[in-house]
Chains A and B, each alone.
Chain A
């Protein structure tokens, strides 16, 4: 198993450009999520998905779109990049019990994004 993979590892964008951060997992996990981590700060939830075709907003969704057409993939789109979106982005996935309690989240290695 590759676990959770993220591409690219590094990216530099100019203000106003768009791009998609890719995330894939091969563990058949229902739950997938995107977090951003700014220097010296915690992880803030951007968007999450509890299954294919289902997505919802997290704590800081503005400026980001997601879709979940398959169980494996959960791409994050920046429509018009802004310097405030300079951050490290982590994707994570998790399975859950029949009672709905999540097991551990597995994190990808992160994408370091700089917006000039």
Chain B
């Protein structure tokens, strides 16, 4: 079935270290979105990738969509305490179809 796998489940880093989370699908995605959820909050949209091989940057965050549109990654450079939260990818398999979330990566940071 349609499933988006995300790893790692947890990541604990020292402030200033880099962080990466990966999403993978066995079938081609139409597009992929990334969300951040702070503890006790609701998911908040970060970005959407649509094109094969697309790379987008938001300050210290870099998002990539694989050439085959089956995988994606989010990389944070030089983490800060404000980056704490759970990062989710969410994919669609065709236009106007359901949006499926990955299981998320929880990022915690040692000051």
Chain A residues with a Cβ under 8 A of chain B = 31, 33, 35, 40-45, 48, 50, 56, 58-59, 90, 92, 94, 96, 99-110
Contacts and interface: CB of A to CB of B under 8 A. Distances in A.
Contact of A96 (B96, B100, B102, B106): B96
B104 interface: yes
Contacts of A92: 43
Given A90-B42, A90-B43, A103 B99 contact: no
Nearest to A44: B101
Given A33-B99, A40-B106, 14 more contacts: A41-B104, A42-B88, A42-B102, A45-B99, A48-B98, A48-B99, A96-B96, A99-B95, A102-B92, A105-B35, A106-B45, A107-B42, A107-B43, A109-B42
Given A42-B104, A43-B88, A104 B99 contact: no
Question: Interface size class for chain B?
Answer: 20 to 34
Nearest to B9: A40
B63 to A, nearest CB: 13
A94 to B, nearest CB: 8
Interface of B: 6, 30-31, 33, 35, 42-45, 48, 50, 88, 90, 92, 94-96, 98-104, 106
B6 to A, nearest CB: 8
Contact of A107 (B44, B94, B100): B44
B45 A104 contact: yes
A48 B6 CA distance: 22
Chain A CB count within 10 A is highest, among B42, B92, B100, for B42
